[in-house]
Amino acid sequence: MSETERPQLYLVTPPAFDLDVFPAKLAAVLDSAEIACLRLALATRDEDVILRAGDAVREVAHARDVAVVIENHILMVERLGLDGVHLTDGARSVRKVRKDLPDAIIGAACGKTRHEGISAGEGGADYVSFSPVGETPLGDGSQADFDLFQWWSEMIEVPVVAEGALTAELVAKFGPVTDFFAVGEEIWTHDDPAAALKALLAPLG
């Protein structure tokens, strides 16, 4: 990616949300900024909850021409009329899912590992995600560093997503070396998620 190109935005839902409230919040955020993709990333494994949530967010997103991918639930893609799937097991299942869903968007979360990212790209992933780029007490505390993104942006054609504990400072730093910023927890805890998103992305101009 050249330094003159502005990274696109990729929105991630909260792990749980109130269907009476969240669709309106989501609509407000989608109306406030140009969003390329929305990831339905629910913690639950309750099929009914996933189906109802999927219907709700698809309706809001597709009305605004925003693609929707679901985290891991491959069989839900066609059932819910979504655009693709975000796999959290790195490159492991990319090749098989590409065969099963030849026309879908397939993304792969590859942690902090260059090799995993390359394998996912070779397997047919449309994008890879490295995370977290910010400091977090979760996991082992390690981060996907700037050098990984810089190398990827210079050497690899597959689009790359930066996510995890983003701050305005990190957006400014990683902007020149990433294709997408995935934003979720950074904004949903605020009373006005759209305003929080605007503040987070202010360095992009």
pLDDT value at residue 154: 96
| Confidence at residue 2, expressed as pLDDT on a 0 to 100 scale | 37
Q: Return the pLDDT at 5.
A: 79
Q: What's this model's pTM, rounded to 2 decimal places?
A: 0.95
pLDDT at 148: 97
Fold assignment, 8-204? TIM Barrel (3.20.20)
- Reduced to 3 states, what is the DSSP secondary structure of residue 122? helix
Output the pLDDT for position 139.
74
21-to-38, 49, 59, 166 alpha-carbon distances in Å: 17, 15, 14, 25
Spatial contact of 16 and 42, defined as CB atoms under 8 Å apart: yes
Q: Tokens 């968007």 appear where?
A: 105
pLDDT at 3: 44
Tell me what pLDDT residue 93 has. Answer: 96
The pLDDT tens digits for 100-128 are: 999 999 999 999 999 999 999 999 999 99
Per-domain boundaries in the chain: 8-204
Residues of the chain under the 70 pLDDT cut: 1-4
